[in-house]
A and B are shown apart, each in its own frame.
Chain A
Amino acid sequence: MELKKKILELMEHDARLSAKNIAIMLDEEEVKIQNIITGMEQDKTIIGYNTIINWENIGNDGVSAMIDVKVTPERELGFNKIAERIYRFPEVRCVYLMSGTYDLSVVVDGRNMKDIARFVSHKLSTLENVQSTVTHFVLKRYKQDHFIFDEDETDKRLAVTL
């Protein structure tokens, strides 16, 4: 379990690390590391891999919104059923069950504000258990999943020091 944890800690910040390098870093056999990673992919410990992209750099003006959703939970199923109804929509990026003044936090991506407005009014608000929604548009992304978007990453160190 300790080894799994170490592998995941390494992969969490760099999914591209090869099994070979992880094996060297952890003093293990490459085959062993590869098998553990494959196992964790199969048992869904590792859900998937994606890339953190600054779409603005290629002139993509897509928009995102965080929507606070109040819902009526269903008897026996609680919030899970309604959450599923929401997360099945492909434009939904994240869904979290929240404590506090609303129940579900839904992050939605769209090409423009109209796209998102349409999603909220046509798809989300019309769900039977949804009582109300409050939509917050994302104006600027500063940091996501530990990565800072406009960080100056140039190496400011002198090339050689003793």
Chain B
Amino acid sequence: MSGMDAYISDVVKSIAPSGIRKFFDLVAQAEGGIISLGVGEPDFITPWHIREACLYSLEKGYTMYTSNLGLPELREEIALYQKNRIGVGYEPKNQVLVTVGVSEAIDLALRALLQPGEEVLVPQPSYVSYVPGAVMAYGKAVPVETYDQDQYRLRPDSLVKAITPRSKILVLAYPNNPTGGIMQREDLEALTEIIIKHDLIVISDEIYAELTYNGQHVSIASLPGMKDRTLVMNGFSKAFAMTGWRIGYACGHPEIIAAMNKIHQYTIMCAPIMAQKAAIEALRNGEEQMRKMVAEYNYRRKLIVNSLRQIGLECFQPQGAFYCFPSIKNTGLSSEEFCAKLLIEEQVAVVPGNAFGNNGEGHIRCCYAASVSNIEKAVEKMGRLVKRQNNQ
């Protein structure tokens, strides 16, 4: 059969293919030998004690389903961890849901909460799954721009401007991919009145929370009046270098968690037990190794920002995650042109900023989860391109 397009659902068809598909194809065609600052994951391998805990659980025969919500001991560890980290207590029995990465948690929340046509406010530049996630849940994503000069914090006036009577959910993804921006306590406090007044639910994607470099991450769930209307989402991918394990969780009001679990039980059943076992080990004994990795990222963060500024790119000092988001506007190239040239002429991969929303244009995302020598080499090569452009 040909012409299967007619069979595809209108909703799926309405999702625009990623604007940077061309660039991805280019990367796929590139032969080996490229230096990549284009990844979205740690360069560390999962610490051995965590991998070993998983092996041990396999040896012991833990290969079965778990409760839909996840292993009780994992939910207890998650509740304890959140109490210690963000100062918010959750009941492991009905306020914690273990998911296949934060990605699943986001999908569940959007589907559990949205009525057709309701709006999801997405501060941009942002990670790419919130907008299509809203569409697939029959909702509508409304971008809210954040700006370089504000260090990509969400401004109350920008939020107010974007709110309509159909606004239902606000996504807060801080520390932010791709900008490295964070929201400090006072930034969040400035939003809570608006959120409560307009009766919004917050999806707080805190996957990079441990990668906050100056001071402690603050969750909006910890602010007065916000716990019940916030879904805190976190996971193990970034802090514990466990991306491929696909394990995350959502914490929130029992009724919302139950609604999410309804979808989860019919679509996923449960997160893989081996990943859950590894996650228990990560939370019980993983802090020391995690702190070492975060310290490493912090060193590299300073190094890459310094190097980028030296080659003439403006770059705000990221305060979280492992990305920086320099401007390439002074080269006269678009984000995609710059990235394509960098890949072809200098064999360095970074991600065009417009992949993360229209206002990411003019920027590139550089991931510094890479060795010091690769960061130095990549930025040096980038410097050659910038120089050639400026001499034209």
Is there a chain A Cβ closer than 8 Å to B281's Cβ? Answer: no
Residues of B within 8 A of A162 (CB): 40, 127-128, 177, 351, 355-356
A159 touches B349 (CB 8 A): yes
Interface string of B187-211 (1 = CB under 8 A from A): 0000000000000000000000000
Q: Collect the chain A residues with CB atoms within 8 Å of residue B30's CB.
A: 159
Interface size of A in residues (CB-CB distance below 8 Å): 15
A155 interface residue (CB < 8 Å to B): yes
Q: Is A160 engaged at the interface, CB distance under 8 Å to the other chain?
A: yes
Residue total for B at the interface (Cβ-Cβ under 8 A):
26
Chain A hits for B177, CB < 8 A: 162
Q: Assess the B351–A157 pair: CB atoms within 8 A.
A: no
Q: Is the CB of B302 within 8 A of A155?
A: no
Whether the Cβ atoms of A158 and B39 lie closer than 8 Å is yes
The number of residue pairs between A and B whose CB atoms lie closer than 8 Å in the complex comes to 49
C-alpha gap A161/B243 in the complex (Å):
11
* Bound-state Cα–Cα, A26 to B299, Å: 7
The answer on a CB contact under 8 Å between B306 and A161 is no
Give the chain A neighbours of B40 by CB distance below 8 A.
161-162
B299: A residues at CB distance < 8 A: 10, 25-26
- Pairwise interchain contact A155-B127, C-beta atoms closer than 8 A: no
- Chain A residue nearest to B355 (CB atoms) is A162
What DSSP secondary structure best describes chain A's contact surface?
A: loop
Q: Does any Cβ of B come within 8 Å of A61's Cβ?
A: no
The chain B residue with its CB closest to the CB of A158 is: B39
User: What's the nearest-Cβ distance from chain B to residue A13, in Å?
Assistant: 10
Shortest C-beta distance, B348 to chain A (Å), equals 10
A56 → B minimal CB distance (Å):
24
Instruction: List B residues at the A interface (Cβ < 8 Å).
Output: 23-24, 27, 30, 34, 36, 38-41, 43, 127-128, 177, 298-300, 302-303, 306, 349, 351, 355-356, 372, 376
Pairs across A and B, CB under 8 Å, 26 listed: A10-B299, A14-B372, A21-B303, A21-B372, A21-B376, A24-B306, A25-B298, A25-B299, A25-B300, A25-B303, A27-B302, A155-B36, A157-B39, A157-B43, A159-B38, A159-B39, A160-B27, A160-B38, A160-B39, A160-B349, A160-B351, A161-B38, A162-B40, A162-B351, A162-B355, A162-B356
Q: What 10 new A-B contacts, CB under 8 Å, besides A25-B298, A161-B38?
A: A21-B303, A21-B372, A24-B303, A155-B43, A159-B38, A159-B349, A160-B36, A162-B177, A162-B355, A162-B356
Closest 8 CB pairs of A and B: A160-B38, A25-B299, A161-B40, A159-B36, A24-B306, A160-B27, A157-B39, A162-B128
